[in-house]
Amino acid sequence: MTFPTIGLIGYGGIGRVHGMAYRSLPFHYGLPADAVRIGGVATTRPESARAAAAELGCGFWTADYHELLARPEIEAVDICVPNHLHAAIVVAAAAAGKHIYCEKPLAMNVAEGQQMVAAAARAGVKTQMTFNFRFYPAVLRARQLIDAGFLGRIFSFRGRYYRSSYIDPHKPISWRQQKAIAGGGALFDIGSHILDMLYFLLGEFAAVQATLDTLIQERPARAGAAERAAVDVDDIALLTLRTHAGVLGGVEASRMGTGLTNDIGFEIFGEQGAIRFSGLDPAWLELYDVRDPDKPVGGLRGFRKVETVNRYVGQKAPDGSMAPDFVRTHAECQYQFLKAVAEDRPTQPTLADGLHLQAVMAAAEKSSAAGRWVEVRECL
């Protein structure tokens, strides 16, 4: 099996994580050291591109991603740039015949997302979104259990993603807090992750009622500056959603979760049982089964922790008993993309999946502004 040669576009914090994950894949799966090839990197400045190439161990670097796309040895691109640049790069990559791996969220808005999906479809290239959290073994196991009917009829769900990254009002504004660059705030940045996790488990969303709020409305324009800059995206997003199957639930996404550095998780309640997961304890999936005996002596009913640990199909290292981590979920997302391209089979999640979530987030924004339920189809 021969994997496509990758061109990395963007090498900020998340780009470096992607590079780490690619480099780890041969160790995880017992592959030759050169099985996963990063053929080049593009950033916005020559000095950062040169430094990135040195870290990645690739021979080509450029400050113009078009030059990377023009290289015939580059077969797939990994896009790790701010959100406002996604659409142009995806359209150009598709036109160049490159397979596309794109960071979340898909786009700035639904119209851009539709353009991107259409460009990839016209070119016949494979696409995948970086929704890495669905690749925790516990989440994959939850999907298996749901598909097998463990929950019976599903009653409701609850999802959350809380970070404390912006609780300090003196922290300078970042591109993630500017609508012109990020497209949205907590909803786009971290809400897209928990929405995808629930979408993976429960299927498409049909309607949403939401409240979005900006809790700190201006920040220093830069470190040490007296000048203030307006924050024009949400700090917190509270959503009530209904799936196409009719299941009602709630999602909370906030970058103002004091005391919570990176808390993602969900609970799903059904007629026959319940499932819950916390990214702070990722080696385990918690299950409740109403079929367990409920009696004073010998009863077993209650939530139990089921070990899912670091069990990926075909993994050689680390030992499957170890707890998975954030970078490992990225590696698995990348591995599934590379395998799908090499084996010419469908990828998942695709840009089309990203477009569905883009429409859900657009519906949430519309709902918050209008104060009503909004059907997702209204935003497509």
Per-residue pLDDT of the chain (380 residues; tens, 9 = 90+): 899 999 999 999 999 999 999 999 999 999 999 999 999 999 999 999 999 999 999 999 999 999 999 999 999 999 999 999 999 999 999 999 999 999 999 999 999 999 999 999 999 999 999 999 999 999 999 999 999 999 999 999 999 999 999 999 999 999 999 999 999 999 999 999 999 999 999 999 999 999 999 999 999 999 989 999 999 999 999 999 999 999 999 999 999 999 999 999 999 999 999 999 999 999 999 999 999 888 777 778 899 999 999 999 999 999 999 999 999 999 999 999 999 999 999 999 999 999 999 999 999 999 999 999 999 999 99
pLDDT of 1 reads 86
In a domain, 316, yes or no: yes
In a domain, 336, yes or no: no
In a domain, 347, yes or no: no
Per-residue CA distances from 185 to 65, 76, 133 (Å): 26, 29, 19
Same domain? For 144 and 179 the reply is yes
Centre a 10 Å sphere on the Cβ of residue 300 and count the other Cβ atoms it contains: 11
In a domain, 196, yes or no: yes
Same domain? For 223 and 312 the reply is yes
Same domain? For 181 and 316 the reply is yes
Last residue of a domain, one of 96, 113, 133: 133
CATH assignment of the domain containing 88: 3.40.50.720
In a domain, 343, yes or no: no
pLDDT of 300 reads 80
Q: Confirm if 235 and 256 have CB atoms less than 8 A apart.
A: yes
CATH assignment of the domain containing 260: 3.30.360.10
In a domain, 1, yes or no: no
Query: What is the domain extent for residue 57?
Result: 6-133
Same domain? For 115 and 141 the reply is no
In a domain, 277, yes or no: yes
In the chain, the number of structural domains is 2
